[in-house]
Amino acid sequence: MSSAAIDHAHDHDHHHGPAKGITRWLFTTNHKDIGTLYLWFSFAMFLLGGTFALVIRAELFQPGLQFVDPNFFNQMTTMHGLVMVFGAVMPAFVGLANWMIPLMIGAPDMALPRMNNWSFWILPFAFLLMVSTLFMEGGGPNFGWTFYAPLSTTYAPDSVTYFIFAVHIMGASSIMGAINVIATILNMRAPGMTLMKMPLFVWTWLITAYLLIAVMPVLAGVVTMMLFDIHFGTSFFNAAGGGDPVLFQHLFWFFGHPEVYIMILPAFGIVSAIIPTFARKRLFGYDSMVYATASIAFLSFIVWAHHMFTVGMPLAGQLFFMYATMLIAVPTGVKVFNWVATMFRGAMTFETPMLFAIAFVVLFTIGGFTGVMLAITPADFQYHDTYFVVAHFHYVLVPGAVFSLMAAAYYWLPKWTGYMYDETLGKLHFWMSFVGVNLLFFPQHFLGLAGMPRRIPDYALQFANFNWISSVGAFLFGFSQLILLLVVIKCIRGGKKATAQVWEGAQGLEWTVPSPAPYHTFETPPDPSLIKAQ
């Protein structure tokens, strides 16, 4: 009896610090370690996907074919999209969720730590599988990240099967991650942390997790139907066999539209944390922010066919999806107005996280404006599948989702590493990214309006000027990201010691633990008096 007690005590001691060496990372069930793994993985994917993008922009620098053949060009656009969406943006948000949700709600860890380990470690294999297709006979997937059938089935390269399995694995990883987030938030909040006191990052992730659970199975279903069409003679999407290529698009976008909100809702949460901190003023309209997020999530399920205005839906269908899409701009607008009202009459300072957050508000809103334009169906006939759409979704995803991730990295780096990052380098990174991203994507609006289709490796001469500018912006933006790498490495290795509070105006439980956050936090619940309304 007593020896068992001693053993147990010993065991307990053992678990206080991380294991040594590679096994720490392979077998870890610690939310902070897993968060770190996710973040590094997503950064690596960001650089890989960025390299693919630079191949695309190099080819488009001038009219004519210079560097790659059209088939490889299509593989680059496809891989760029897939790697950025599934490899960079989504895992980065999961990484932040792992690190921050337990710290924000006063929980000792995620609810399902072993599944947490598993959901990360299957990801590298999924991407290995997917990227390896580039080296296979016949080349990798070349049908766009939206992989419309029958280009992705009857007419696909053989490697499509690897792509399908990779998507299955990514989907499984996302679903496990989402279950974990929901279980953690619903069950592990510290006493006193009521739902309406949760930081918005927690709220937005809770809603995102439900979106993930709802739509990832649809994605799994659609790729499985592809698999059957390719290998088992079914004709889900093959018109010659009685199937329906348009059905593919309905299924894909039923997943795809919520997916774009999966990539932006957590970003809303991050920005809602950072702006009040540096404006030194409480977030304006917390309740309305929560309701707006929930309405966006609901509406995101009934707008999918706005990606399909040109497939020849009946008039009634077109009108329904047009109205629903216009409607989604309303709660999105409410969010932007609330952020601006938070800054209004605050006492602002402009450290790097705040710069990224403000740029997010402005540039994401520009993406929202073009979104509303795209909702106008007759006008969308002109915009659809042109660079105007490319500009739209890159504005919401790059200076939108990706800037929010950078803001988050700068904001929480001191908490993660215990050191302040180099502010000068941070600002340099911001300004280079800001100029780069606008040079890169703003001219694409003009290209689209003037008639340049997307996904083409070569273009007519009247598109030469803006393509040239866009490519210059791409290289500026791309190489600026190495500054972020430098900042992070420097910050891990040392610097000015960070206090627990880190930022003068920061609110919330994560700032009550020391910096760096100890390996185990909130093993006993925090004092309820520390939990304040946001």
Partner 1 sequence: MLSKAKLWLSLAFGALLMWSAGAHAAWELNMPRGVTQISRETYDLHMTIFWWMIAIGVVVFGVLFWSIINHRKSKGAQPATFHESTKVEIVWTLVPFLILIAMAIPATRVLTAAYDASESELDVQIIGYQWRWEYRYMDDDPNAEEVSFFSSLATSREEISNSIDKGENYLLEVDNPLVIPSDTKVRFLMTAADVLHAWWVPEFAIKKDTIPGFINESWVIVEEPGIYRGQCAELCGMDHGFMPIEVHVLEPADFEAWYAEQQQQALQVAELTNAALSMDDAMAQGAEIYTRNCVACHQGNGQGMPPAFPAITGSAKATGDIGITMDTLVNGVPGTAMAAYGRQLNPIELASIITYVRNAFGNQTGDMVQPAEVNEFIVGGQ
**Residue 396's binding partner, choosing from Cu ion, partner 1, ligand HEM, none, with beta-carbon cut-off 5 to 8 A by kind?**
ligand HEM
- Smallest distance from the beta carbon of 515 to partner 1, in angstroms? 22
How many residues make up the chain in this entry? 534
The conformation of residue 453, written as its DSSP 8-state character, comes to: B
- Smallest gap, in angstroms, from Cβ of residue 146 to ligand HEM? 5
Q: Does 6 bind partner 1 (CB under 8 A)?
A: no
Cα distance between residue 468 and residue 448, in whole Å: 14
- Applying the rule CB under 6 A, the residues between 315 and 354 that interact with ligand HEM are 325, 328-329, 332
**Is 261 labeled as catalytic in the residue annotation?**
yes
Shortest CB 84 distance to Cu ion, Å: 17
* Omega within 30 of 0 (cis) for the link into 91: no
257 is a contact residue toward Cu ion (CB under 5 A): yes
Binder to ligand HEM among 83, 206, 396, 440 (CB under 6 A)?
A: 396
> Which residue of the set 33, 59, 109, 380 is catalytic?
109
Identify whether 280 is a catalytic site residue.
no
Among 18, 108, 192, 285, contact with partner 1 (rule: CB under 8 A)? 285
- In terms of Cα–Cα distance, which of 259, 283, 257, 287 is closest to 271? 283
On the CB side of 526, CA atoms within 13 Å amount to: 25
The interface with ligand HEM within residues 462-521 (CB under 6 A) comprises none
Phi-psi bin for 508: left (phi > 0), alpha (psi -120 to 50), beta?
left
Q: Is 530 exposed, middle or buried (0-12, 13-18, 19+ CB in 10 A)?
A: middle
CB-closest chain residue to Cu ion: 257
- Out of partner 1, ligand HEM, Cu ion, none, what residue 328 binds, judged by CB under 5 to 8 A for its kind, is ligand HEM
Listing DSSP states for 35-49 in one string gives HHHHHHHHHHHHHHH
Q: Which of 80, 168, 281, 445 is catalytic?
A: 80
Cis link prior to 516 (omega < 30° from 0)?
Answer: yes
CB atoms within 10 A of CB 504: 11
Closest separation between CB of residue 342 and partner 1, Å? 8
Q: Interface with ligand HEM includes 295 (CB under 6 A)? A: no
Alpha-carbon distance values, 502 to 60, 78, 278, 488, 513 (Å): 44, 41, 12, 16, 11
Say if residues 100 and 106 touch (Cβ distance below 8 Å).
no
Return the residue matching tokens 């490519």: 471
Q: How much is the CA Rg of the chain, to the nearest whole Å?
A: 23
**Residue matched to tokens 């997917």:** 130
Active site residue 295: no
Q: Check binding of 371 to ligand HEM (CB under 6 A).
A: yes
Within a 10 A sphere around the Cβ of 529, how many other Cβ atoms?
7
Task: Please indicate whether residue 470 is annotated as part of the active site.
Answer: no
The contact mask relative to partner 1 for 264-283 (x = CB under 8 A, - = no) is ---------------xxxxx
Stretch that binds Cu ion, among 184-192, 254-262, 350-358, 468-476 (CB under 5 A): 254-262
Q: Residue 268 corresponds to which tokens in the numbers above?
A: 């809303």
Check residue 268 for interaction with ligand HEM (CB under 6 A): no
Q: Quick check: 366 binds ligand HEM (CB under 6 A)?
A: no
Minimum CB distance to partner 1, residue 284 (Å): 5
Backbone dihedral angles phi then psi of residue 386, each to the nearest 5 degrees = -115, 180
- 62: which DSSP letter? S
* Interface of this chain with partner 1, residues 473 to 532, rule: CB under 8 A: none
**One character per residue 334-373, x = contact with partner 1 (rule: CB under 8 A):** x-xx--xxxxxxxxxxx-------x--xx--xx--xx-xx
With CB under 5 to 8 Å by kind, the binding choice for 264 among partner 1, Cu ion, ligand HEM, none is ligand HEM
Among Cu ion, ligand HEM, partner 1, none, the one that 318 touches (CB under a kind-dependent 5 to 8 A) is partner 1
Q: Is 14 designated active site?
A: no
Output the CA–CA distances (angstroms, integers) from residue 521 to 188, 198, 503, 510, 513, in the order listed: 13, 18, 20, 10, 7
| Phi and psi torsions of 497, nearest 5° | -65, 135
Q: In the complex, what is the shortest distance from the CB of residue 390 to ligand HEM, in angstroms, rounded to a whole number?
A: 8
**Residues between 92 and 151 that touch ligand HEM (CB under 6 A):** 146
Tell me how many degrees the CA angle 343-344-345 measures, rounded to the nearest 5: 110
Task: Provide the minimum distance between the beta carbon of 465 and ligand HEM in the complex, in angstroms, as a whole number.
Answer: 24
Catalytic center residues: 80, 109, 145, 173-174, 257, 259, 261, 272, 306-307, 332, 335, 454
Contact residues for ligand HEM (CB under 6 A)?
Answer: 146, 260, 263-264, 306-307, 325, 328-329, 332, 368, 371-372, 374-375, 380, 383-384, 389, 392-393, 396-397, 400-401
